[in-house]
Amino acid sequence: MRLAALAKINLQLTVTGTRPDGYHELRTVFQSISLHDDLMIERSRRPGIELSISGAELDPGPKNLVWRALDLLSRELRLSGGWRARLEKRIPMGAGLGGGSSDAATALVGGVRLTGKRIAPERLLEMAASLGADVPFFLVGGRALGVGRGDEVYPLEEGRRRWVVVVLPKEIRVATPDAYRWLDAKLTKAASPPKLFLSCARSWSLEDADLLNAFEAVVFDRYPILREMKRRLLQAGAAGAALAGSGSAVFGLFQNPAHARRAARKFQEAQVYVARTVTRGEFGRWGARRREA
């Protein structure tokens, strides 16, 4: 079975503090985009998991989220035999686009389909959350509100279709733990978070200019080129632009594909991707397009 694992952007992302369990309390609006990895999976009579990866240098063993998702599924369903999987990476790593989390969720969904068994949606969400805070969103897709660690996901009304230009400097990767550590230091010094998250009601009708990412306050200080790329996206006509997740990509929203492609050509020195937003209904239909390999 061949499956598409779609990337995401965060239209809004605020960190309000640290939770008693040591994780961070988030308020975020996720949005699926059409940039994707490809995952091929099949059942095997031999026990164990054989995973191969192209397009990126990643550990194909137990540290990999696809490997962990398939292992978790085997234990949950008490399966005999094992898995063979091949992952083709297109979503850049360390860019804030959720590639690893999407791969894990896609492995769960595809694996369940291949076995012909059923897992209750609530249990599948719990399994996804055990793999990573962003993973549950990739079981939902479209536009959604994430709270708690980001693992509590609530579908939101879809926005208008937008084309997305993602710009990633070739020499910069921001590790998520580093970004949180920088932000923790800033939150400790501040009397309150830099900006309050928009109300849930407002989140149902976000405009392009409402983009907000609390990590910009610390990531841009350390990597001014990212601030400059955001400025250039706005100069190129983006209706809104922001840091992607905790970095190290920035993205701009455009109202038509021709305008997006013209803007993308202005960033010859960087990795550039042109995609579009994907609604929840389309996200589900991507599943219908997934085909036997």
CATH 1.10.10.10 fits 163-276, yes or no: no
At the second CATH level, the architecture of 2-157 is 2-Layer Sandwich (3.30)
pLDDT of 205: 57
Considering the chain, what percentage of its residues have pLDDT values greater than 70? Answer: 91
Q: How confident is the model at residue 175 (pLDDT cuts 50, 70, 90)?
A: confident
CATH 3.30.70.890 occupies which residues in the chain? 163-276
CB atoms near residue 188 (< 10 Å)? 9
Of 8, 37, 103, 151, which residue is the catalytic one? 8
Q: Is 210 a catalytic residue?
A: no
CA distance 37 to 97: 11
Alpha helices in 236-269 (DSSP H): 257-264
* Concatenated DSSP letters of 49-71: EEEEEESS----STTSHHHHHHH
Q: Is the pLDDT assigned to residue 197 strictly greater than 50?
A: no
pLDDT in tens, 18-57: 777 777 888 999 999 999 999 999 999 999 999 999 999 9
134 as an active site residue: the answer is yes
CA distance 1 to 107: 10
- Cα 159 to Cα 152: distance, rounded to the nearest angstrom: 20
CATH 3.30.230.10 in the chain: give the residue spans: 2-157
Quick one: pLDDT band at residue 184, thresholds 50, 70, 90?
confident
Q: What confidence tier does 150 reach under pLDDT thresholds 50, 70, 90? A: confident
The catalytic residue among 37, 38, 134, 151 is: 134
Average pLDDT over residues 5-15: 95
Q: Could you tell me the pTM of the whole model?
A: 0.90
pLDDT for residue 137 is more than 80: yes
The lowest-confidence range among 200-209, 238-247, 259-268 is 200-209
